């Protein structure tokens, strides 16, 4: 009999302290050094920020969205994040809507200096770059928790052995496990903070005992030394993983 090990975590774009309470089944993402606000993410998109789920970023003049006659709405923010952007002044308060070059569905379009722009919500962007300098934090054997320092960010993860096979660079949503412990030879790793990734394949061990003992160390080593492995982890950090 086989079973699977998985985590169903949907990322909510709320700030863990000041923003609205996240819906049931989601978790809050706290904005920190590993998370940036931007209409376009360079690396990982962790969530979408709107005036509804992050009221601390919303226009403070009482109007929090622009709404068209077709009921298309976009958030008004208290700060300007793009140039150009839509400026709306309410009394003595000026608020802004983001503009991104190009077209999109169900949004507002504006043409400026022969360039078409569309409105866009802010995004929570992860700053984890698989090509950044990364160092190993050596874990204890016979544990599951591993860590590494990549750029200026400490990444924490977990390890697990199962019967799901793969090669370095592969990622999966769930690790399949065998109730026959000796069959669980394949080492998989995932990031748990600053955001959650899918599982990335690390290596295969000759025995399940060796896998249970050393999988965690292999996760930390692969994370520090192998850009392909880091890419498999970083690429699967996104909303809904």
What is the pTM assigned to this prediction?
0.69
The Cα–Cα gap between 5 and 1 comes to 14
The Cα–Cα gap between 33 and 31 comes to 7
Asked if residue 227 lies in contact with residue 169, where contact means CB atoms within 8 angstroms, the answer is no
Please count the residues of the chain: 241
Asked if residue 100 lies in contact with residue 39, where contact means CB atoms within 8 angstroms, the answer is yes
Helices then strands, each counted (H, E), the chain: 2, 19
Asked if residue 127 lies in contact with residue 142, where contact means CB atoms within 8 angstroms, the answer is no
Per-residue model confidence as pLDDT tens for the chain (241 residues):
444 333 333 334 444 334 446 656 555 666 666 788 999 998 888 788 888 888 889 999 988 998 876 778 899 999 999 999 999 998 999 999 999 999 998 888 999 999 999 999 999 888 889 999 999 999 999 999 999 999 888 999 999 999 999 999 999 999 999 999 999 999 999 999 888 899 999 999 999 999 999 999 999 999 999 999 999 999 888 644 4
């Amino acid at each position: 009999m086989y079973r699977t090990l998985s985590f169903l975590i949907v990322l909510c774009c709320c700030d863990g302290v000041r923003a609205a309470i996240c819906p049931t089944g989601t978790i809050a993402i706290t904005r920190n050094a590993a998370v940036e606000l931007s209409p376009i993410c360079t690396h990982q998109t962790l969530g979408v920020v709107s005036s509804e789920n992050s009221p601390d970023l919303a226009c403070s003049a009482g109007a929090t969205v622009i709404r068209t006659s077709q009921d298309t709405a976009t958030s008004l923010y208290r700060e300007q994040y793009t140039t150009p952007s839509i400026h709306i002044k309410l009394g003595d308060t000026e608020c802004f809507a983001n503009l991104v070059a190009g077209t999109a569905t169900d949004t507002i379009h504006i043409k400026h200096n022969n360039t078409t722009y569309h409105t866009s919500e802010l995004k929570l962007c992860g700053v984890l770059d698989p090509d950044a300098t990364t160092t190993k934090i050596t874990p204890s054997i016979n544990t599951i928790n591993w860590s590494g320092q990549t750029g200026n960010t400490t990444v924490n993860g977990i390890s697990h052995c199962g019967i799901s096979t793969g090669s370095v660079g592969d990622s999966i949503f769930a690790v399949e496990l065998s109730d026959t412990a000796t069959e669980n030879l394949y080492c998989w790793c995932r990031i748990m903070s600053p955001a959650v990734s899918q599982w990335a394949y690390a290596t295969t061990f000759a025995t399940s005992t060796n896998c249970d003992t050393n999988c965690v160390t292999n996760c930390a080593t692969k994370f520090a030394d192998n850009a392909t492995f880091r890419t498999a982890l970083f690429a699967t950090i996104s909303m809904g993983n």
